[in-house]
Amino acid sequence: MYTESDIANLRAVIKNSKRAVFFGGAGVSTESGIPDFRSRDGLYSQKYKYPPETMLSSEFFWSHTQEFYDFYREKMLVTDVSPNAAHYKLAEWEREGHIAAVVTQNIDGLHQKAGSKNVFELHGSIYRNFCTKCKMPFPVQRIQKGKGIPRCACGGIVKPDVVLYGEPLDENVLDGAVKAIRAADNLIIGGTSLNVYPAAALVDYFRGENVVVINKGAPAKDMRGVTFIDGKIGEVFSQI
Ligand code: NAD
């Protein structure tokens, strides 16, 4: 658990920040009702024929396209959810000039829904989809409503613009995220196990003053010297 003084410290860091970066993951959206991977109620604890990392791999997409879409539609393609206090606070701090950028591993678009403008989506977004043959964009609603493998008018298979395991990150997004973290005065990390690479390595580019981690349980990475607040990020942020 955390104390009043943890909240006061975080408040001071945010208030004194002029270009902080928030780096987050699936835990930021659990309070909106989207399961993460590694929590007790996360996708790893649910019984599937294959682990989520297999079903969300590029290899699986091409070899088991129908099974990929069955899982993706049921578990990843969540659009009827709202941002929670964590998303809203980050958008507010950006407007107030404390946060320069949000770097997220999430694909759910909730930071933008909450009003954040400068968002680096390391793993892409469920809201962008395109034909793998002719590159035409494809509306997300048509993927949601359909049952089979979504196909473009040209016959090509449609793929979500999400970075599957085994695929490289988008160079421009990566470059923007690294630049923002390098220039940040403070780094706030939250709702991520820091297990997924190369995303988790980006926090090593930070050269600023304070690192504050808000997470349920300690992340996988050795984070000596950082301030760690063990709690739910929406609940913690709503007290700032
Ligand atoms: P993860 O599941 O590996 O880790 C989530 C971490 O957040 C855990 O340490 C968990 O204890 C913590 N957590 C859960 N709820 C929290 C809360 N309310 N407040 C604070 N901490 C909380 O997630 P990851 O590190 O992001 O890596 C998994 C990969 O799968 C990433 O690429 C991720 O984006 C993707 N994914 C995305 C979504 C999404 O877009 N919402 C959902 C599931 C997985």
**pLDDT digits over 182-230, tens only?**
999 999 999 999 988 888 899 999 999 999 999 999 888 777 789 999 9
Ligand 1, atom 39: closest residue by C-alpha: 106
**What's residue 37's pLDDT?**
82
Q: What angle do CA 233, 26, 109 make, to 5 degrees?
A: 100
- Pick from 37, 71, 223 the residue to mutate for probing ligand 1's pocket: most ligand atoms within 8 Å of its CB: 37
Residues constituting the chain: 240
Annotated catalytic residue 123:
yes
Q: How far apart are CA 108 and CA 118, in angstroms?
A: 15
210 close to ligand 1 (CB < 6 Angstrom): no
H-state helical runs in the chain: 4-16, 52-55, 58-63, 65-71, 85-95, 110-114, 140-145, 171-183, 233-237
Class of domain 1-33+83-123+168-240: alpha beta
Question: pTM of the predicted model, to two decimals?
Answer: 0.95
pLDDT band at 9 (very low <50, low <70, confident <90, very high): very high
Q: How far apart are CA 148 and CA 4, in angstroms?
A: 51
